Each structure stands twice: as C-alpha cells, then as structure tokens.
Amino acid sequence: MQVVILGSGSPLPDPQRAGPSTLVRTAVGDFLFDCGRGVLMRAAAVGSGAAAIRALFLTHLHSDHITDLNDIYTMRWTMSFQPNPLPVYGPAGTAPLLRATEAMLEPDIGYRLAHHGDLKWRPSAEVTEVESGVIFNEGTVRITAAPTNHAPVHPTVGYRINDGEHSVVIAGDTVPCAGLDELCEKADVLIHTVVRRDLIEEFGLPRLTDVLDYHSSVPDAAQTAARNGVGTLILTHLVPAPAPGTEQDWLNQATNHFRGQVVLAFDLLTLDVIH
C-alpha cells in the first residue's frame, strides 16, 4: 500500500503546490481522493491517469477540492477505448455535481463525438453518495466513510482505506469530530488538511481569519492523531503555504502534541505504508 500526495496546496494558487488531491495505491488499483487543480499533471508524474483510477472519492464539494473534476471526466472518456464509466463516491450533492459537469462539457462532448469516428459513446459516471459505513469492499481492500465537520459546508465525509493489515485515513477539511476519530482509530497513516492559526491571525484579514472556525490547526490535527493511536501524520492543504526555511516550525507545532512520525506534505511525496 502506498500514498502519493498529488497536490498539497489550498485554494490559494501556488506554483509549487497543486490543489488538494491524494492517490492511494492498493492491491486492487489506484484510488483518487479529491481532484484539485493540476491533479492529472501530477498523476502523470507517477504513471497514473484518469483512465486508470479505480474510483474517485470526494470529501466535500468546495471548489478547490473539485477544480479538475471536468478534466478527469473528459480524459477518462477520451483516453479509454471502450466505455469506461467513472466511479465517483462523495457526499450528498455529488450526483447533481456530475450532471452539472457533463452539462458544462456538452459543447466539447459534441465536438469530440463528431470528430472521432471510433468514439461512439458519451462520457459517464457511476455515482454513489455516501455518509457512513463500508462503501467499497474488494479483495483485501475495504473503504469506509464517516461524517466530518466542516460546517457550514455540509455534508462532508472522511475515508479510511484498509488494505490487509495496513490503513490510511483521508480527513478532508474538518475540525476535530467524532466521525474522524472513528476513522482514525489505530490507523497507520492520517492525511490531514491543516491551517496555521498563528500566521493567519497575524494577517488579520477577515477573508482569511474566517477559515479558522472550520479547519483544523496543526495542533488540532496532531491531537486527533495522538488521541487515536495513529502511526504517521501527514500535514497537507497547508494554509498559508510554508515559506522556505519555516518547515520545522510546522513540524514543531505537531510534535508538541503527537509522538508519532510527522511529515509535512509536498507535491509527489510518496510514502509506503508499513506498521
């Protein structure tokens, strides 16, 4: 089992950080969690792509987590040589999102059908809206969802991927909550979006300080990991992006609360999941 951070960024454009997206490689294939800006460029760097992923999982429908949904939808269609519906799992609202995405792409769909004689089918998705419980179970791989708390964004979900004895949790955007604790219990790896409360408060801009009440700070994420016996904590979706030379400051805020391994994410960070 392997984790690849395809995008470690946030809504704020950054030349070094693509939008939020994580690839989890398992015994039954690659699973993609969220699809922020630049996701397929990063996926190409690790030999994956839209046509190859087993399924896409959305934690919530904030724009920065779904920016490149249209790219995945189109590229899966045009780069497959037989009908290859895109399996998508996400919170309530995911089905209408896919319908709206297809409607937005309607001119492009028409152009491509008219031009490519061997492309005789339309793009399609198989959407499963989820809230809690086991949502995927095949071979050694089981994926479980649980509700998280990103209010007023609602509903939102986190995911736990078990592959045999190994486990990875995708927290998404959330404050500490019971659903996330449920997913995290004794997990090998927790991938958690975080903000730096101290730096954002220094800026003092309401548009920025507004994010503090519905995201976890670095200590929040570390306390969640510690409370649930997590092995490794990966901090991602970093707001604001760490200035060069300040990376240790981020790590220190986590290690003050969590004794396990802490990793500050960067694009294409790859971690083999071991006990």
For the annotated catalytic residues, the residue numbers are: 64
Distance CA 122, CA 159 (A): 30
User: Of 172, 272, 175, which Cα lies nearest the Cα of 231?
Assistant: 272
- Judged by DSSP in three states, 178 sits in helix
What six digits make up the tokens of 141? 């791989």
What six digits make up the tokens of 268? 């294409």
Distance CA 84, CA 121 (A): 10
Distance CA 228, CA 158 (A): 15
Distance CA 133, CA 122 (A): 32
Q: Are 182 and 146 in contact (CB under 8 A)?
A: yes
User: Of 190, 268, 270, which Cα lies nearest the Cα of 227?
Assistant: 190
Give the number of other Cβ atoms within 10 Å of residue 5's Cβ. Answer: 24
Q: Report the relative pairing of strands 55-57 and 189-195 from DSSP bridges.
A: unpaired
Q: Residue 100: CB partners within 8 Å, gap ≥ 6?
A: none
What is the residue type of 89? Y
Distance CA 166, CA 33 (A): 17
**Count H helices, E strands: the chain?**
10, 14
